[in-house]
Every structure is written in structure tokens, then in C-alpha cells.
Amino acid sequence: MDDELHYGVIEGEGVALLTSHPFGPFEPEGRVFALADVRLVAPVLPSKVVAVGRNYLDHVREMGGDKPPSEPMIFLKPSTSVIGPGEPILLPWQSEQVEHEAEIAVVIGRLCRDVPEDRVNEVILGYTCANDVTARDLQGTDGQWGRAKGFDSFCPLGPWIETDLDVEDATVTCTVNGELRQSAVGADMVRAIPELVAWISSVMTLLPGDVILTGTPAGVGRLEAGDETSVSISGIGTLTNPVTDRG
């Protein structure tokens, strides 16, 4: 296969290439490749990644809080922080405490704003795995989270978008070098996805391909150079990234 970039639909062990992007009517262009013969990149390049903080009670507690915020708490990660499966998470020299955060990611399918909760399904293309990588020490010292959450490579996404997922029943886990660090089900979220998308879209217009990270459960912990970390969501798959020094 060439080294061109294509959108595709996964069918069994194969990938059927598409004539266009998936944010509208699309159809297969004819070529099908074995999944093992293609290199997957991040499934979308979002205009923005909107992340929700403190959306699992056990994580609120491990961060020293006793209750979730009275309204959703959001922050932005730059599009340039996005990487795909297998790409390295780069540890920046500015931080001595970079941590993993396994999260269920929502991929927006169409331009929208002020979406009512009961119509949120109409604007969601699907779901993927995310790792909201965080420089925990800088998150504390900076006050603002732009740097702590925004380094290049701090938003692994993938391995693909699942369009049909029962989020409430989905299990999200994080492992580091095969050891289980985080585990929760979607139903554990303080605020469910319809409420989050409705609330965020009342603040800012969402564009096709924009990504919403829905918060992380307890068990966040440090990543070291040489580690390999995986985020798995039942019904989607596994997103694995090695960890290296940025140099």
C-alpha cells in the first residue's frame, strides 16, 4: 500500500477505503486492505478537544476533593496534542510527573450548537479510546491547565471510531506494562454524555471531528520512559502507546 492517508471502514479483519470523509454521506471506493497491512493513525484530527474534569467520584476523591463540581468543568487540549495508536507519548523536560488518564472519547459528527439533551445522539458520530495525558506537577503549579494538558503527544486517540456503543455498560480500563491501573464503567460518570454534550454545545459550537473527553476514573499514575500504556474500552478496542523522553 502507498503511504497516502485515507479514511476507511473496518469490516472484520479488513479495511474498506472510503471515497471521502465520514462526516456526511460516504461510500467505499473499492479497495480493501487487511487490517494487519495498514498503519492506523488517529481516527480524527479535531479542531478542538474539549475535556471534562472531575467526572468520576472516585477520581475526585483521589485528587483530594469530596464532591464533583456543581457544573461541568471543562478545559481544552490543542489539536496538536493528538497522536494515534502506537505513536509515542513524549515526556517533556518541564515535568517530572506525567500521568495517564483513561477516558471514553466522543467524536462529534456534525456542526452543532445549543443541542438539547434528547437530540445529542444526532450529533455524535461515535466513540473512541483516549488517554488524557497530564503533567500533574504543572497542573498544580500553573493553576491554568493549558500547559499541563497541552504538550505535543498528550492526547492519544484510537484505535478507531465505534459508531454503535452502549456507553453506560462500556468498561474503560488503563494498563501500564500490562498492569491494571484504572477500571470503571460508563455508568459511573457523574454526568452522562447527553448532559455533557448539551452543556458544552451551549458554550461553543462543535465542529465535525471535534472530540469530547468525558473524564477519568480513579487510579491515575505516573508514566516513565520505556513504559507502554493501553486504554481499552469494551465494545471498541485497545489504544496502546509507548512512552519515551521527548529529548
| DSSP label at residue 231 | E
The 83-112 site mask, x for binding Zn ion (CB under 5 A), equals: ------------------x-----------
- Judged by CB, which is closer to Zn ion: 206, or 231? 231
| Shortest separation between residue 52's beta carbon and Zn ion, angstroms | 7
- Judged by CB, which is closer to Zn ion: 132, or 227? 132
| DSSP label at residue 79 | G
- Judged by CB, which is closer to Zn ion: 15, or 95? 95
| Shortest separation between residue 18's beta carbon and Zn ion, angstroms | 31
- The verdict on 132 binding Zn ion (CB under 5 A) reads yes
For Zn ion (CB under 5 A), the number of binding residues is 3
Radius of gyration of the chain (CA): 17
Find the binder of Zn ion among 216, 230, 232, 241 (CB under 5 A).
216
CB neighbourhood size of 235 (10 A)? 14
| Shortest separation between residue 101's beta carbon and Zn ion, angstroms | 4
* CA separation for the pair 149, 165 (Å, rounded): 27
24 CB burial (10 A radius; 0-12, 13-18, 19+): exposed
Cβ neighbors of 208 (< 8 A, separation 6 or more) are 21, 23, 108, 109, 110, 111, 125
Task: Specify the stretch interacting with Zn ion by CB under 5 A; choose among 3-11, 29-37, 72-80, 128-136.
Answer: 128-136
| DSSP label at residue 93 | T
What φ, ψ does residue 217 adopt, rounded to 5°? -80, 180
- Judged by CB, which is closer to Zn ion: 87, or 149? 149
- Judged by CB, which is closer to Zn ion: 173, or 216? 216
Applying CB under 5 A, which residues contact Zn ion?
101, 132, 216
